[in-house]
Amino acid sequence: MEILIALLIGVLFSVATYLLLTKSLLRIVLGTVLLSHGAHLLILTMGGLGQGAAPLLGQEAGSYTDPLPQALILTAIVISFGMTALLLVLTYRTYKAHQTDDLDQLRGRLDE
Amino acid sequence: MSNLLVVPFLLPMVVGAVLIFFAKHHRLQRIIAGLTGIALFVFSIYLTYRVYQSPEQMIHLEVGDWRAPFGIVLVGDMLSILMVLMASFVGLVCLFYGFKTIHIERERYYFYSFFFFLLTGVNGAFLTGDLFNLFVFFEVTLISSYVLISHGGKKFQLRESFKYVVMNMVASAFFLVAVAYLYAITGTLNMADLGDRVAMLDQQGIINVIAIIFLFVFGAKGALFPLYYWLPKSYYGPPAVITALFGALLTKVGLYSLIRTFTLIFNQNPAFTHTIILVLAGATMIFGVLGALSKFDIKSIIIYQIISQVGFMIMGLGVFSADAIAGSIYYITHDMVVKVALFFIAGIIIQLTGTADIRKMGGLLKKYPLLGWSFFIAAMSLVGIPPLSGFFGKFSLIVSSVGEGQYVIVGVALVVSLLNLFSMLRIFMNVFWGEETDITFALSNEQVNGLLRTVIPLIAVTIALGLGAEPAFQYVSAAADQLMNPTHYIDVILP
Amino acid sequence: MLHSVAFIVMCILAIAIALCLFRMVKGPSMFDRIVALDLLGITLIGFVGMLMIVQQTLVYVEVILVLGILSFVGTVALSKYMEGGVVIERDRD
Amino acid sequence: MPIQILLNLSIAIIWMLLSSHFSFSTFLVGYVIGLALLYLFKSFLKFDLYFTKIIAFVKLILVFIKEMIIANLNVAKIVLSPKLKAKPGIVAYPTELNSALQVTLLSSLITLTPGTLVMAFSDDRKTLYVHTIDIDSKEKVIESIKTTFEKGILEVTD
Amino acid sequence: MSEIVISIFLLIGAIFMLLGAIAIIRLPDAYTRINAATKASTFGVIGTMIGLFLYFSYAHDVISGKVLLTIVFVFITAPVGGFMMARSAYHAGVRIWDKSVRDDLKEDLKQKINKPEH
Amino acid sequence: MLLSLLHIAIIAPFLFALVIPFFYKKIPSIHTGWFVLILPTVIFIYLLTFIPTISRGETVTQLLPWVPSLGINFDIHLDGLALLFSLLISGIGVLVILYSIYYLDKNKESLHNFYFYLMMFMGAMLGVVLSGNLMVLYVFWELTSLSSALLIGYWYDREKSRYGSLKSMLVTVSGGFSMLAGFSLLYVITGTFTITEIIAQVDTVAASGLFIPTMILVLLGAFTKSAQFPFHIWLPDAMEAPTPVSAYLHSATMVKAGIYLVARLSPVFSGSSEWFWIVSGFGLFTLLWGSFNAVRQTDLKSILAYSTISQLGMIMSMLGLGSAAAFYGYEAGYTAATVAAVFHLINHSTFKGSLFMVAGIVDHETGTRDIRKLGGLMTFMPITFTISIIGAFSMAGIYPFNGFLSKEMFLESMVEATHITSLNMASLGFIFPLVAWIASVFTFIYSMILVFKTFTGNYQPEKLDKKPHEAPIGMLIPPIILVGLVVIFGFFPNILAHSIIEPAVQSIYPYGLTGVEHFDVHISPWHGFTPALFMTVSIVAVGVLMYLTLTKWQKIYTFLRLHQKDPVNYIYDGIVKRVVPVAKRVTKVPETGLLRDYLAYMYIFLIVAVVFTLYHFGGFAIETANVAEIPIYVWVIVAVIAAAALLIPFLKNRVTAIIATSFVGFLVALLFVMFRAPDLALTQLLVETVTTALFLLCFYHLPELRNEKSKPTFKWTNVIISIGVGVLVTTMALSSLALKSKKGFESIANYFLENAHDFAGGDNVVNVILVDFRGMDTMFEILVLGIAALGIVALIKLKLNGKEDINEK
Amino acid sequence: MKNNVSLHTMTRIAVFIILSFAIYLLLAGHNNPGGGFIGALMTASAVVLLYISFDLKTIKNVLEFYFPYFIGTGLIIAIGTGISSMIFGYPFLTQFFTHAHLPILGDVELTTALVFDIGVYIVVVGVTLLIITTIAEDDV
Ligand code: NA
Ligand code: NA
């Protein structure tokens, strides 16, 4: 299972990277979203997939899956949510101020 | 158990939160902020004293009463507590400079809250003993920086902030990636525990790759070559006080983390990992100073000097001996002071003349001798002219590098120092020397002197750190010994 | 037996999801995509239900309800956006 | 006021469903939460909610279930038939129902049954525009709705 | 026996969900797809959720209110979701299938434009 | 432990400097120089009291720890060499300050700056020569560079002042830095910075493999400071400083710091042929180059500057020769050379100091220093003429002035050099007297030019700004005192022999001369008909001849392309001019301003570094077990996610893109359910939906996606980098997992599972971790959110245009 | 023909269900899936649904809150639980719990972690709604 998900994570990272390398503001934002998906899945995978029950002790199962990566991902999701929100607003404010979403035109000059 | 350790980040956090309610009352905001800044600084001194006097020279706190490595542990060792002290000092000075230079509209939009939240993140990052918690504090720091760097929403700012945010988000994602790998292998997040477990692994290949990823992550935050390209322009946008704060604190968080992880956890193959660091240190110095030389804008030049100095700051880590690391720590301390002073002075000059282009200025020394000499001293300190603080930093790095046979980096460091000198003299000779131009000065003498009142303490510190280098070196040597002896750290945290 | 049924159901639902993806990609109108997303949400409810049977636990029941709620909210938001370019109107009157 | 009590009670019941714990204390907590929510939204409640005619309601539900099963089978037939021979279209359906709740209920029932989907209301809410997958004749569509749902709703709500 | 009942519910649900998916592939325009998907999915959810409810009350002796609540919620919101999609599509100018037999809404909208309210 | 008076003598000028602005501002009626004069006088007198002690062969040592952690201690080591230099520094300091009082107008000049720098210099210079610790020496060394640069740039509104200041700073500090490296090497070899301790370990140093680099690095410091070819170029430009400064720093004292250092460290390094060849070789060449170039100068101060360069080379060559002679046991040669060096060092300070002051007087009184404009001043300023003729004749080596004595000793030692049999001297030794002779001829010529082109010949009033007068008496006293010394030392050279020269020579005493207990220095004007005498005579003869035929052969400078500027300057100017363009180019190329490029650097660095590390250490591993057990529906779901994600870059419509992203997000939530993470699934779904809503809200303000027009290379580079990143992440994930299953540390997570219920009172372990075990993460995670929200408010509502931050309060 | 009658009616009903569910998620989080963050996002989703179905002005009249204060308040509550443990001499953020037997409600677990989670809840609700309303109000 981990191999499959690791491959998926690789795909997510590749796509995210590709998007980040484009010149369009919005595609870059989408890239960051996919990047965090990849990172979160990776944390989960690194904790080991699918052993034991979900970590809710009320079920009285024999073994539980590792709860720590889940908690870490939760924190990470929340943080990337905040980051994405801020980045989105920054994106459109940038667009409005410069009237372009093309990073080629947002280079600025060397001697500014 | 010492709850004292939470104060450096909790106090600013609480005050930041409280200030949300007073966003429209700028006078009250300033009073609260100022008192907090002072309290934090005073407290940091006390805390440093406590740590220094404690038998282990290290205090720690198991947050939530969960013992390490299970809960999050805060560790105030010699290095982290020094960083906290310096951050509090820098914060205090910036705050008072900010009172005089920050526009009222900025104050209305939570400037001081963001300021304190940034300090929260920075101090937290210094104090935490948990790798994931470090990530969290990094993010607190970063998001505060995102907000502060774009605060005001000027066209230039927005454009460069976008790049800044994206670069850092990528680095943060890889922070998570690296933590995940490390967790998979070691099953722990506590840094002491990580150090312990990594040392027990016989397979070092993967660990070294993870180390490289961490180097990438912290290097991006710490502005190492070739990861710094986002920095020059994005730091240019915000007002001087924010640039100063960033220049002094943000890159330091990255460097601190590098030092921490590469002494505590990734210390198994220094011949490989630390050599890479050394190579990057040299490249960073060179490219940073070339950047500085390529500019005529005083703020830009000093921003590039951030990068150039970063090279020096991690040089000691790359050399990886107790003396070298002591040199690095001392250098970081010195740089925080001098960098802030330089940005303040640049800010004053820009405000005074209405331009940042040194070619358009001239002869300021006659009317503003104190400003000029403050700049000169700070600049010479940055270059490493004795007996200012910068000299002792460079000197100890060079002696220790020579001692370890790292001659190439010594050569690079010296050549770069010479170029640093050139770049700083260029500012001095253009701005303060030369013929007076027809610039009308936009600040009154009282205003300039008022602003200088925040610069003078910094200048005093760089002189004092130089003339009084002995106690400082006793401290940093002890800190470096602690770092080079990670088992002590591990034993204290995991008894 | 129920496990086999759940397995079969999940295979069926996986196909349904793949079909949704197809429509999502193909369009042609944006509403085809929205309906594909809506249907994905619904399908996921079933999928999670099956996983609950497989894993012998009720702990995902909140997930089911949340899926129901969110596919509604998402559909309304997307439709609203596509109708006039504004998700939240400032003042309707 | 009674409407609000009713709403409050239903929140309490929802709460019990959520908790999967059918006891008085759960109900009470749900009731308190409902009370709080109602207080929060006190200026916001303006629809009529009247659940007294339970029998009519049950009847309506049964009719609906029957219609729904038929509808789904119909759709299945259309979707699965090798050649698409549906004749879709939009039909204007005039209703006599008045209150918002009634109209909503009707439209929901219509939507959930035979290849029909309410896709717009006229501004005066008197006409429902119904998208139908397979129209034989407009009258037939209207007739079937009138006799099943609109009648049932009237019985329940009046 | 109860396992069979549960299985039937589950399978019916699954099949209808698949049907909904097939419907959005096969049907000719957005409106028919929305139309079909709305009810297929509702039916699917009801099927699987009832199966689920029964399974847990049978196998684990747990009455899950939330499963029932899910049914209720999907049930009351799905029509509105369909309504929103279809109406928005219409206002957004998504063309109705050219083989559609009638469009009363178009007629009425035309009238409305011809005879403004005031 | 306490500060000794000697420490105070070093520190006092610095402290005094701080109060100078006070004198300048508060007591403007009295020339600030009068206050300043007190301190060097006191120091000079105080230092004189050491002569008896030192001439007895004793040394005075005062210890004061400064930064003992780094081996830096402010120890004072006063021996003959140090005393000689400190007397020169303070003594000439007194004269120069007295001179400056008349030279600098108290109403027009920024005297507080001037004297501040000057005091700083004096303190620093005393520090250099009195310090017994190499690092303290270095500290003061750099301070002399600094104060020198500030003094050169004293008239900072002049372009040339700034040029000269920058040049002196860059050249001398670069030498300083290399010296720092050299000292560091010495420290690493010997474990100490204390000079006496280093000397004691001379065998260790000599045996070290780092001996040669250490020596070269240290010498670079000395050579830059003492203006040895090719580092001499800063000195002529340093003449932009006020003339008192030129007299003081750039001829009498600071430039001799390099000489001091060579002398001081001779015991350490002189045991090698390299030391000899480098020191003497550079010295000789500098001697020649300086004198040769001095002749073509037209500015009085330039002539003096090149003359200084030449004379410093001369002293340097003698030091090298002396050490070599000593090392090979040729004691007579040693004594001759070293005594000559020390004696000439003193003499040079006297005659060159007076000549600089004369140049200042001429400049002051006529408004120019250009010899082409000057001439016939003899009648207007007879005293000045007298002074200059004594100074210049001494410089030319003409009897009976002190310059004659030391010059002859120099020539003698050069002749002695041919007697050294080792060090290839048998074949190359002839160079020494030859170069000495040629250089001396040129020295003679420029000395004549200096005097006669200024004071004799035609008076050209039309070329002068003002009518020349004799200088005020205060301005004449210092040069008169100096030429007085020139004469006195000429007639009574031995008043210095025992008190000053002997202890100084004793201090340079290299270890090779262990058998010799004491030097007896006796200087006499007459040695008989020695080769040196013949050389002197021929120098004067040829010199006179060449001076008279000057115009005939001066074209040779044009022919050699030396007529415009010193060719070494082309190198300096070339470098300095190119630094900025090169820096610009180096910065411009990578700094494209394009985010994509910056990201590409990061990614490429990451990929290369990781691949390199993996290649270096190995460690890639993969566990393929359990792949077969993956249910088919998981494959489908994963494939769907991958497909949806892969589609996103190709989408041209932003809503489609966001729907596709949501699609991925929802399915990731499904994976979370599959992998038993209910809280995660809930959070993921909620965040995904709210994020989608945010995207839609922001779309109102954003444009539709564009087709990107990029070159195929751009796109394909991106593709390769992207694939690289994906492969990297996956590879590392698999390897980590493989290592995990092999090594199997117990995860700390078990602790949470075991204790959540009993000690934290919760069954949802994930939630318990979030609010309890790792509550601090959560606390700061919500802080992140809070900051984000407030930041968004600020971003949207706070719109400044850039003017606000200037002048706002 | 943009009559929203069914949307409005069903939203009114759905919102009550969602809000109840949200509070349930908050309170049950310690033992079941849920918690402050999830509960808060659920709450926010309900309010967002209101904003979407109706409009900003209508809903602002119903929910007259100043969201920045939510953030400050929530942060202070969360910190407060951490600080309160320090007052009693325990390490920062030590959580306590006890089982109380209350009349009517029966056996109830009281935890300081819940207070902490409520702080989280308030912050996240404030954050989400502040972000959304601020963006929605930005029309320049
Ligand atoms: Na200029
Ligand atoms: Na200028």
| Token output for C93 | 């009157």
| pLDDT reading at F645 higher than 60 | yes
Ligand nearest to the CA of B359: 1
Among B20, B62, B64, the residue with its CB nearest the CB of G68 is B20
Query: From CA F302, how far away is CA F393, in angstroms rounded?
Result: 18
User: What's the number of domains chain C is made of?
Assistant: 1
CB spacing of F788 vs G127 below 8 angstroms: yes
Least confident piece of the model among F399-403, F765-769, G72-76, G108-112: G108-112
Of residues F347 and F498, the one with the higher pLDDT is: F347
Residues 40-79 (C) with a CB less than 8 A from some CB of G = 59-60, 62-63, 65-66, 69-70, 72-73, 76-77
Query: From CA B389, how far away is CA B370, in angstroms rounded?
Result: 20
| pLDDT reading at E33 higher than 80 | yes
Ligand 1 center to B296 CA (angstroms): 9
DSSP conformation class of F299: B
DSSP conformation class of F248: I
* Fold of the D68-157 domain: Alpha-Beta Plaits (3.30.70)
Task: For residue E57, give every residue at least 6 positions away whose Cβ sits within 8 Å of its Cβ, in sequence order, or none.
Answer: E63, E64
Query: From CA B350, how far away is CA B397, in angstroms rounded?
Result: 34
Q: Give the CA-trace dihedral at F267, F268, F271, F275, to 10 degrees.
A: -100
Name the amino acid, one letter, at F571: I
Chain E residues touching residue D20 (CB < 8 angstroms):
62-66
The strand pairing partners of D131, in sequence order, are: D90, D117
Among A39, A75, A94, the residue with its CB nearest the CB of B158 is A94
Neighboring chains of C (3 or more beta-carbon pairs < 8 A): A, E, F, G
| pLDDT reading at F802 higher than 80 | no
pLDDT at residue B410, rounded to an integer: 96
Type and span of the H or E element at B6? none
| Token output for B482 | 């602690």
Half-sphere exposure for G52 (CA within 13 Å, toward CB)? 32
Chain C residues touching residue A62 (CB < 8 angstroms):
none
DSSP conformation class of B300: H
pLDDT at residue D51, rounded to an integer: 42
Backbone angles phi, psi at B75, to 5 degrees: -125, 120
Among G68, G79, G95, the residue with its CB nearest the CB of B13 is G79
One-character DSSP codes across D5-61 = HHHHHHHHHHHHHHHT--SHHHHHHHHHHHHHHHHHTGGG--S------HHHHHHHH
pLDDT at residue D12, rounded to an integer: 78
C-alpha F12, offset from chain centre: 25
Per-residue confidence at F571, pLDDT binned at 50, 70, 90?
A: very high
**Best mutation target, A20, A45, A96, A109, to test chain F (most F CBs within 10 A):** A20
Q: Do G and A touch, counting CB pairs below 8 Å (3 needed)? A: yes
Per-residue confidence at B271, pLDDT binned at 50, 70, 90?
A: very high
Q: Give the CA-trace dihedral at F606, F607, F608, F610, to 10 degrees.
A: 80
Ligand 2 center to B430 CA (angstroms): 4
Name the amino acid, one letter, at B165: V
Domain with residues F595-754, CATH architecture: Up-down Bundle (1.20)
Query: From CA E101, how far away is CA F682, in angstroms rounded?
Result: 44
Among A46, A76, A83, the residue with its CB nearest the CB of B183 is A46
**Domain locations along chain A:** 2-50+66-111
Per-residue confidence at D50, pLDDT binned at 50, 70, 90?
A: very low
Closest CA to B47 of B88, B92, B19, B96: B88
Q: Which residues surround ligand 1, an ion (CB under 5 A)?
A: B 359, 362, 430
| Residue in F with minimal Cα distance to B229 | F598
Type and span of the H or E element at F487? helix F473-491
| Token output for B51 | 């740590």
G90 touches chain B (CB under 8 A): yes
Chain C residues touching residue F637 (CB < 8 angstroms):
14, 17
Q: Answer whether A40's CB lies under 8 Å from F670's CB.
A: no
**Domain locations along chain B:** 284-484
F343-395 confidence digits (pLDDT tens): 999 999 999 999 999 999 999 999 999 999 998 899 999 999 999 999 999 99
Q: Answer whether F39's CB lies under 8 Å from F12's CB.
A: yes
Neighboring chains of G (3 or more beta-carbon pairs < 8 A): A, B, C, D, E, F
Taking residues D29-44, what's their average pLDDT? 74
Chain A residues touching residue F763 (CB < 8 angstroms):
56-58
| Residue in G with minimal Cα distance to F679 | G33
Per-residue confidence at D74, pLDDT binned at 50, 70, 90?
A: confident
Q: Do B and E touch, counting CB pairs below 8 Å (3 needed)? A: no
Largest CA distance in chain B: 70
Structure-token match 């996986």, residue found: C14
pLDDT at residue B16, rounded to an integer: 96
Query: From CA D68, how far away is CA E79, in angstroms rounded?
Result: 13
| pLDDT reading at F2 higher than 50 | yes
If interface means Cβ-Cβ distance under 8 Å, which residues of chain A face chain G? 56, 58, 74, 78, 82, 85, 89
CB atoms within 10 A of CB C91: 9
pLDDT at residue F809, rounded to an integer: 38
Instruction: Kindly report the nearest CA distance between residue F589 and chain B, in angstroms.
Output: 11
| Token output for F331 | 């004691």
| Token output for G44 | 């926010």
pLDDT at residue D1, rounded to an integer: 46
Query: From CA F730, how far away is CA F708, in angstroms rounded?
Result: 29
Per the rule left: phi > 0, alpha: psi between -120 and 50, beta: everything else, F629 is alpha
| Residue in B with minimal Cα distance to G113 | B64
Chain F residues touching residue G67 (CB < 8 angstroms):
789
Q: Strands E102-103, D89-94: parallel, antiparallel or unpaired by DSSP?
A: parallel
Q: Is the dihedral of CA A10, A13, A18, A19 positive or negative?
A: positive
Task: For residue B340, give every residue at least 6 positions away whose Cβ sits within 8 Å of its Cβ, in sequence order, or none.
Answer: B90, B93, B94, B244, B245, B247, B248, B458
Chain C residues touching residue A61 (CB < 8 angstroms):
57
Taking residues F239-245, what's their average pLDDT? 95
CB spacing of A89 vs G32 below 8 angstroms: no
Closest CA to B126 of B113, B107, B141: B141
pLDDT at residue F388, rounded to an integer: 95
Chain G residues touching residue E77 (CB < 8 angstroms):
10, 14
- For the whole model, what pTM was predicted? 0.94
Of residues A49 and A84, the one with the higher pLDDT is: A84
G131 touches chain A (CB under 8 A): yes
Taking residues B108-131, what's their average pLDDT? 96
Closest CA to B220 of B182, B174, B289: B174
C59 touches chain A (CB under 8 A): yes
Per-residue confidence at D48, pLDDT binned at 50, 70, 90?
A: very low
Ligand 2 center to B425 CA (angstroms): 12
| pLDDT reading at F327 higher than 90 | no
Query: From CA B76, how far away is CA B73, in angstroms rounded?
Result: 10
| pLDDT reading at F515 higher than 60 | no
| Residue in B with minimal Cα distance to F616 | B205
Per-residue confidence at A23, pLDDT binned at 50, 70, 90?
A: very high
Per the rule left: phi > 0, alpha: psi between -120 and 50, beta: everything else, F705 is beta
pLDDT at residue B437, rounded to an integer: 87
| Token output for B426 | 């260029």
Q: What value of ipTM does the predicted structure carry?
A: 0.95
- Domain of residue C38 covers 2-84
Of residues G25 and F324, the one with the higher pLDDT is: G25
Closest CA to B362 of B433, B283, B260: B433
Q: Strand runs (DSSP E) across chain G, as ranges?
A: 97-102, 106-111
Among G1, G7, G17, the residue with its CB nearest the CB of E73 is G17
Ligand 1 center to B428 CA (angstroms): 10
Per-residue confidence at F510, pLDDT binned at 50, 70, 90?
A: low
Helix axes F678-699, G112-137, angle to 10 degrees: 20
Query: From CA E95, how far away is CA E89, in angstroms rounded?
Result: 8
Name the amino acid, one letter, at F805: D
Query: From CA F509, how far away is CA F266, in angstroms rounded?
Result: 8
Chain C residues touching residue F636 (CB < 8 angstroms):
11, 14-15, 17-18
Ligand 1 center to B440 CA (angstroms): 15
Q: Do A and E touch, counting CB pairs below 8 Å (3 needed)? A: no
Closest CA to F123 of F104, F110, F111, F141: F141
Per-residue confidence at B454, pLDDT binned at 50, 70, 90?
A: very high
Name the amino acid, one letter, at G81: T
D130-156 confidence digits (pLDDT tens): 888 877 777 877 888 888 788 877 777
Ligand 1 center to B451 CA (angstroms): 23
Query: From CA B130, how far away is CA F773, in angstroms rounded?
Result: 12
B325-380 confidence digits (pLDDT tens): 999 999 999 999 999 999 999 999 999 999 999 999 999 999 999 999 999 999 99
Q: Answer whether B72's CB lies under 8 Å from B125's CB.
A: no
Closest CA to F350 of F180, F518, F490, F203: F490
Ligand 2 center to B434 CA (angstroms): 4
| pLDDT reading at A109 higher than 80 | no
F131: three-class secondary structure by DSSP:
strand
Most confident of E39-43, F238-242, F409-413: F238-242
Average pLDDT of every residue of chain B: 94
CATH for A2-50+66-111 (1.10.287.3510, 1.10.8.50, 2.30.110.10, 3.30.70.260): 1.10.287.3510
Instruction: Kindly report the nearest CA distance between residue D135 and chain G, in angstroms.
Output: 23
pLDDT at residue F512, rounded to an integer: 47
Backbone angles phi, psi at B130, to 5 degrees: -125, 130
CB spacing of B133 vs F777 below 8 angstroms: yes
Query: From CA C1, how far away is CA F217, in angstroms rounded?
Result: 86
CB spacing of D112 vs E104 below 8 angstroms: no
CB spacing of B132 vs A75 below 8 angstroms: yes
Per the rule left: phi > 0, alpha: psi between -120 and 50, beta: everything else, F528 is left
Backbone angles phi, psi at D59, to 5 degrees: -60, -45
The strand pairing partners of F201, in sequence order, are: none
**Domain locations along chain F:** 270-553, 595-754, 755-809
CB spacing of F689 vs C73 below 8 angstroms: yes
Instruction: Kindly report the nearest CA distance between residue G39 and chain A, in angstroms.
Output: 13
F739-750 confidence digits (pLDDT tens): 888 877 889 999
Ligand 2 center to B81 CA (angstroms): 43
Q: Answer whether F361's CB lies under 8 Å from F376's CB.
A: no
Structure-token match 């590392």, residue found: F732
Query: From CA G120, how far away is CA G82, in angstroms rounded?
Result: 13
Half-sphere exposure for F555 (CA within 13 Å, toward CB)? 2
| pLDDT reading at C2 higher than 90 | no
Structure-token match 């080769």, residue found: F531
Instruction: Kindly report the nearest CA distance between residue G62 and chain D, in angstroms.
Output: 6
Among B20, B62, B63, the residue with its CB nearest the CB of G71 is B20
Instruction: Kindly report the nearest CA distance between residue D134 and chain E, in angstroms.
Output: 9
G68 touches chain B (CB under 8 A): yes
CB spacing of B169 vs A35 below 8 angstroms: yes
